Structure formats: C-alpha cells, structure tokens
C-alpha cells in the first residue's frame, strides 16, 4: 500500500483527486493540506466525501507531509510548487505535480507565459510531462511528473496522430476550445458570477494563452518542424467538460481511411482513448457531456475536401482526464500498478 499525501486539497482539482484516491485500492491517504481550511474535515469542502474519510485538512508543513508519505500530489496555485517540490524530492519522495511549474522545458517560457522567473530550472529536464499516451515509458521511471493542462491535453491528444507522418501543415493549426466553469478554479471572480456566466459564450485570452506553450512543445517533439498553434478558449455554460475543435490544413489529399489508420496506429490499446467518429446518432462526434466524471478522452474527425481541411474534435472532463484522473493514471504507472486502477468510472447518460 502506497502512502499518499495531497498538498492543496481544497480546490476543484484537489477535490477530484481526493474523490479518486479515497477508494483507490493501492493507496492509503495520509495527509491533505489547506491553509484556509486547516482543521476542518474534508467533507466540509467536498461534500461528496462525507462518510468516506475521517481526515481533516492540515496546514502546509513539508516536513510533516514528507514524514508520512511515499508519493505527494501537489495541487497548489501556479508558481507555488517549485518552492516545495525540490525539498520533497530531496527527501526521497515521488511527486505528481498538478501545477504548470514543471511542464515546460524552456525556463524562458515561464517568463513569457506565466510572468515569473523559474527558481529551479535544473528540475525542468528531470520532470516528465505526464501524458501517458505520449510518455508512458518515461513516466514509469520518473520521480517528478508534471501533469498537463486540461485544454492542452485535449488539443495534444487530438493532434498527435497527424504530426509524425506530415499529414498536415504544422505552421498553421487553429484550436478552438470550449470549457466549463470549473476550469476557472474555486476562487470566485466577476467572470464566474452566475449572472455573468450563465446563458453566454465568452471568449477569453484570445491570443497568447498559457497552454500554447505546452501544445507546441509536445507536438514539436513528434515532428521535425516546429509546430505553431493558434489557440482560443471560450467559457461556456456547463460546469465540467472541454470540447476542442481543431482546424488543420492538409498537405496531401487525405481520406477518412488515412485518418483512421493514423489514429488507430497511435492509440491502439490505449485504455482511455475512445474514437468517436460515427455517421449515425446524436453522439456521432465527441461530446463532453458523456465524459463527465471519467478518465476518457473521446476523439473524432471529419475531412473537408472543399478546402483541404481536417477538423478534429476532442472531448474530456477537465477535472478528470484533464487533471486529477490523469494524475492518478500517472501515479499508477510510476508505481507499477495497473494503469486503469481507480479510474474505471463510466459516464452518465442522460
């Protein structure tokens, strides 16, 4: 049994992580920290955990967390983990980091996309980008895994099969993302106020979004040319879920048969990738509604021969496959546990 602690367990990602860990058969949850809620029972913040655990939130104390843990999940705000992770690693613990602090390999990118100087650039090469479908072998041997951003996960998984064989023009890819309100985190703002958010579709951070750095980094590693992505997210009237619609322009006359071959070659045997490209039915293309609470990523596509375009649709739950579920998937791989352990939940319908 692996002893687990979660640093920063009061947010939406932390809560989803706890939902998955309290019933994980290979985990023994030891400590959950929160400065704001220290001393309170977990269920006071996450009511779905009532009756499932007697744990209470504790203050952030690296020494106390390290003393009772084998693996630590860090679900802190961006820019906070790199003050804690080096100490945890020095004490011989494995770390699954939920922030952006170790996702990017270029330390200069942190100044451009996150407006801070990285304090431990020496750890960026040591960390492994926690996308199992691309980096499973490296995750297995890693002590520090950086869990990808939610919208970055959707965009990368949708595009990865098209990059290596030169199917598309990698200098001009357009990703349109729709995301539910939980993606904005637990701290309220005017943008999350019900009367502002409800019944609307709001584009935000239309250019220069942080996830561009991850998407371009990971996709560029798959192909010889540098990948350039135009990425624009939209806040929509749902609580959980992401749908990305990606427009890529082909270099050759691609057929649906070519695309099926590429996606099957890349994702054959992947337990959490589902191909959804059906000519019949209401759910013939990915829809985040049926992925809520699951670790599935649904991918579908259409070919637009009129303008030599491929449209790729990717749907997932931003809190599960987009964050906590993916973190647990990485934990399983790091610790020699069957990859699907604790992640077998099915979506709801309707």
Q: Is 342 inside any structural domain? A: no
Q: pLDDT, tens digit, for every residue of 56-67?
A: 999 999 999 999
Range of the domain at 13: 2-126
The model's confidence at residue 71, banded by pLDDT at 50, 70 and 90, is: very high
Beta carbons within 10 angstroms of residue 258's beta carbon: 17
Catalogue the long-range contacts made by 12-15 (C-beta closer than 8 Å, 24 or more residues apart): 12/182, 12/185, 12/186, 12/319, 13/75, 13/98, 13/319, 13/323, 13/324, 14/75, 14/98, 14/324, 15/45, 15/46, 15/48, 15/49
Are 47 and 89 within one domain? yes
Are 70 and 15 within one domain? yes
Q: Is 337 inside any structural domain? A: no
Q: Is 42 inside any structural domain? A: yes
CATH code of residue 21: 3.40.50.720
Percent of the chain with pLDDT over 70: 100
Residue 172 to residues 75, 100, 205, 234, 249: CA-CA distances in angstroms?
Answer: 33, 25, 19, 20, 8
The model's confidence at residue 245, banded by pLDDT at 50, 70 and 90, is: very high
Task: Give ∠ CA 162-253-223 in degrees, rounded to 5.
Answer: 25
Are 110 and 192 within one domain? no
Q: Select from 90, 110, 126 the last residue of a domain.
A: 126
Are 9 and 44 within one domain? yes
Q: What does the pLDDT read at residue 147?
A: 98
What is the C-alpha separation between 80 and 75, in angstroms, rounded?
A: 9
Strands (E), the chain: 2-7, 27-33, 57-58, 71-74, 94-97, 128-129, 144-146, 168-179, 202-203, 229-235, 242-250, 273-275, 297-304, 309-316
pLDDT tops 90 at residue 337: yes
Q: pLDDT, tens digit, for every residue of 12-23?
A: 999 999 999 999
Q: What is the DSSP string of 73-92?
A: EE-PPTTTGGGTHHHHHHTT
Q: Is 265 inside any structural domain? A: yes
Are 186 and 298 within one domain? yes
Can you give the length of the chain in residues? 350
Q: Is 347 inside any structural domain? A: no
Q: Is 261 inside any structural domain? A: yes
39 compared with 68, residue with greater pLDDT: 39
pLDDT tops 80 at residue 258: yes
Beta carbons within 10 angstroms of residue 143's beta carbon: 15
- Interval 231-239 mean pLDDT: 97
Are 20 and 100 within one domain? yes
Asked if 338 contacts 347 with a C-beta cutoff of 8 angstroms, the reply is no
Q: Is 86 inside any structural domain? A: yes
Are 102 and 220 within one domain? no
Are 117 and 171 within one domain? no
Q: Is 262 inside any structural domain? A: yes
The catalytically annotated residue of 27, 150, 297, 330 is: 150
Task: Give ∠ CA 87-96-110 in degrees, rounded to 5.
Answer: 75
Residue tagged 């906590």 (tokens): 324
Are 189 and 122 within one domain? no
CA torsion angle for 7, 9, 14, 18 (degrees, to 10)?
100
pLDDT tops 80 at residue 225: no
Q: pLDDT, tens digit, for every residue of 135-174?
A: 999 999 999 999 999 999 999 999 999 999 889 999 999 9
Are 174 and 312 within one domain? yes
Beta carbons within 10 angstroms of residue 309's beta carbon: 16
Are 105 and 184 within one domain? no
Q: What does the pLDDT read at residue 224?
A: 64
Residue tagged 């490296």 (tokens): 138
Q: What does the pLDDT read at residue 226?
A: 86
Q: How many domains does the chain have?
A: 2
Q: What does the pLDDT read at residue 279?
A: 83
Q: What does the pLDDT read at residue 66?
A: 94
| Known catalytic residue at 27 | no
Q: What pTM, to 2 d.p., does this model score?
A: 0.97
Average pLDDT, the chain: 96
- Interval 282-298 mean pLDDT: 97
CATH code of residue 203: 3.30.360.10
Q: Select from 75, 109, 126 the last residue of a domain.
A: 126
Are 93 and 163 within one domain? no
- Interval 237-249 mean pLDDT: 97
């Amino acid at each position: 049994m692996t002893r687990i602690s979660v640093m920063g367990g009061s947010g939406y990602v932390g809560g989803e992580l706890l939902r998955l860990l309290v019933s994980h058969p290979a985990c023994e949850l030891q400590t959950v920290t929160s400065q704001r809620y220290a001393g309170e029972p977990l269920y006071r913040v996450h009511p779905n955990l009532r009756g499932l655990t007697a744990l209470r939130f504790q203050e952030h104390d690296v020494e106390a967390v390290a003393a009772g843990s084998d693996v630590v999940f860090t679900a802190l705000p961006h820019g906070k983990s790199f003050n804690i992770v080096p100490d945890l690693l020095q004490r011989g613990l494995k770390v699954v980091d939920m922030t952006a602090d170790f996702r990017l390999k270029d330390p200069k990118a942190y100044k451009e996309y996150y407006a801070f100087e990285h304090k431990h650039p020496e750890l960026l090469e040591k960390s492994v980008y926690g996308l199992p479908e691309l980096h499973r072998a490296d995750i297995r041997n890693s002590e520090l895994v950086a869990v990808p951003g939610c919208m970055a996960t959707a965009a990368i998984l949708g595009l990865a099969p098209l990059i290596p064989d030169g199917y598309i023009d990698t200098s001009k890819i357009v990703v349109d993302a729709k995301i539910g309100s939980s993606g904005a985190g637990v701290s309220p703002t005017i943008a999350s106020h019900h009367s502002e958010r409800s019944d609307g579709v709001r584009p935000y951070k239309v250019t220069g979004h942080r996830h561009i750095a991850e998407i371009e980094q990971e996709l560029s590693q798959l192909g010889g040319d540098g990948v350039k992505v135009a990425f624009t997210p939209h806040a929509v009237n749902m609580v959980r879920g992401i749908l990305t619609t990606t427009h890529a322009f082909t270099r050759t006359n691609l057929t649906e048969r070519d695309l099926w071959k590429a996606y099957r070659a890349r994702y054959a045997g992947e337990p959490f990738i589902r191909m959804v490209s059906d000519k019949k039915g209401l759910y013939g293309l990915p829809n985040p509604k049926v992925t809520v609470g699951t670790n599935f990523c649904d991918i579908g596509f259409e070919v637009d021969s009129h303008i030599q375009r491929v449209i790729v649709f990717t749907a997932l739950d931003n809190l599960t496959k987009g964050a906590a579920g993916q973190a647990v998937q990485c934990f399983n791989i790091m610790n020699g546990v069957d990859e699907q352990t604790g992640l077998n939940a099915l979506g709801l319908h309707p």
